[in-house]
């Protein structure tokens, strides 16, 4: 570009001093050379810009790929941690479930033994009540047999015995465990 300015300066000086007559074709040719030089300068600038843009795009793409690979590694690590946490939670819940089942079985056995003890106690109580009622009736029959009022005492004893058994059965509610 500097050479074109020197050539234009020389041509202008020659025309002004009269050494060379003014030739519009030479000026047109020189302007055409200026235009070509400007175009070449612009295209080299555009090429450099494109090259830097391509370099920037390549650098951005490599940064994106690095970020993607980092993200994939983080996701994989998070998924591994999640799976370990789930496995640990399952292991803890299984052991706690087994402990609860063992405790429930112990409580069930204790309940069964308490239930059987209650059944035995109620049976003994009923047996004692029946024995007491039977003893009362025997003594009543014995004393009634000695007196003339045997029939009246027999009726009273039967009524007393029936009431006593009804009271015992009602106090225990269900009669199934007594059978």
Cα separation, 65 vs 153, whole angstroms: 111
Length of the chain: 179
20 by DSSP, 3-state: which?
Answer: coil
> Tokens standing for 140?
């009543």
Instruction: Give the closest residue to 136 by CA, choosing from 115, 119, 112, 159.
Output: 159
Please answer whether residues 43 and 17 qualify as being in contact, where contact means their C-beta atoms are separated by less than 8 angstroms.
no
* Enclosing domain of residue 7: 2-178
> Tokens standing for 107?
């409580």
Confidence (pLDDT) at 70: 94
pLDDT tens, per residue, the chain with 179 residues: 778 778 778 777 777 777 777 777 877 888 888 888 888 888 888 888 888 888 888 899 999 999 999 999 999 999 999 999 999 999 999 999 999 999 999 988 888 888 788 778 877 887 887 778 777 777 766 665 555 445 555 566 666 666 665 565 555 554 444 43
CA atoms 73, 79, 81, 87: torsion sign: negative
pTM for the predicted model, two decimal places: 0.38
Confidence (pLDDT) at 155: 60
8 by DSSP, 3-state: which?
Answer: helix
Confidence (pLDDT) at 161: 61
How many domains are there within the chain?
Answer: 1
Confidence (pLDDT) at 5: 76
């Amino acid at each position: 570009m500097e050479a074109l300015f020197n050539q234009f300066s020389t041509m202008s000086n020659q025309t002004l001093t009269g050494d060379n007559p003014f030739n519009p074709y030479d000026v047109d040719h020189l302007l055409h050379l200026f235009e070509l030089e400007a175009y070449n300068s612009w295209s080299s600038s555009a090429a450099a810009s494109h090259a830097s843009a391509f370099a920037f795009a390549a650098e951005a793409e490599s940064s994106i790929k690095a970020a993607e690979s980092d993200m994939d590694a983080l996701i994989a690590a998070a998924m591994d941690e999640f799976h370990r946490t789930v496995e640990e939670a399952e292991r803890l819940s299984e052991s706690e479930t087994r402990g609860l089942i063992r405790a429930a079985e112990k409580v069930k056995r204790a309940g069964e033994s308490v239930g059987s003890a209650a059944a035995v106690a109620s049976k003994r109580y009923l047996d004692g009540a029946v024995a007491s009622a039977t003893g009362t009736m025997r003594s009543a029959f014995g004393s009634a047999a000695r007196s003339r009022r045997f029939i009246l005492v027999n009726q009273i004893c039967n009524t007393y015995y029936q009431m006593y058994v009804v009271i015992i059965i009602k106090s225990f509610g269900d009669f199934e465990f007594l059978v």
